[in-house]
Amino acid sequence: MNTPTDTPDDIRLVVLDMAGTTVADGGLVERAFEAAATELGVAPGSPEHAGHLAYVRATMGESKISVFRHLFGDEESARRANTAFEKAYGELVEGGLIAPVPGAREAIEELAGGGRTVVLTTGFARVTQDAVLDALGWRDLVPLTLCPADAGGRGRPYPDMVLEAFVRTKAAEAVTQVAVVGDTSYDVLSGVRAGAGLVAGVRTGAHGDEEFRAAGATHVLDSVAGLSALLSGAR
């Protein structure tokens, strides 16, 4: 674990990403993308498909509808692709192909037990987020979960979901009392843009140290399981 010593000592609100950060989905995003690409006539194995998949990997953490708008241009095509993606991902989730990142639930419970408020966020649509929460039995794990639609439609790398969590929970007096944790550079960038006091990348998902540092991460952790110890050590 690589952590600077200047950890804020008054974090009251913790905003955690789901897939890749607290939820291990085994690459289901890419598998669901196959369905979206097929819906739009992009053949697997084609140069176009390879280019699209590279973009999907590079933009992990971003709102999926935004990704499809970039890839397919017009709104109708983007929505068709997004619907196919969400349907395929939901079916994979219902098939039992996801699990918590080891130690994630325990970390969330420890953070809450220490008086901090935890919010779970995602770049997926609400229906998919709820399917993941149901599959894991996490409906009552945290007081608030957010998807892009809950924050006016803008997902990461915009700061909107972080700020929505700040406003709705009223758990912190200033954004510097907020910690944002995720496995992609877009998670990190959203926290930086929100002015969060701690912005950490975790090595359990899509991106690594280089991307996290370039996006402005204050910390890099092996896993979200180490977050509680990091914050407790700051007090």
User: Would you say residue 199 lies in a domain?
Assistant: yes
Question: What are 84-116's pLDDT values in tens digits?
Answer: 888 888 888 877 778 999 999 999 999 999 999
Is there a single domain that holds both residue 177 and residue 118?
Answer: yes
Question: What are 58-90's pLDDT values in tens digits?
Answer: 777 777 788 888 888 889 888 888 888 888 888
In sequence order, the β-bridge partners of residue 120 are: 16, 145
201 Cβ contact partners less than 8 Å away, ≥ 6 residues apart: 181, 182, 183, 184, 185, 187, 188, 207, 208, 209, 211, 212, 215, 217, 219, 220, 221
In sequence order, the β-bridge partners of residue 146 are: 121
Could you write out the three-class secondary structure of 155-169?
Answer: CCCCCHHHHHHHHHH
Among 68, 94, 120, where does a domain finish? 94
Among 73, 94, 115, where does a domain finish? 94
Is there a single domain that holds both residue 219 and residue 173?
Answer: yes
pTM of the model: 0.84
Is there a single domain that holds both residue 86 and residue 104?
Answer: no
- Parent domain of 151: 13-25+99-233
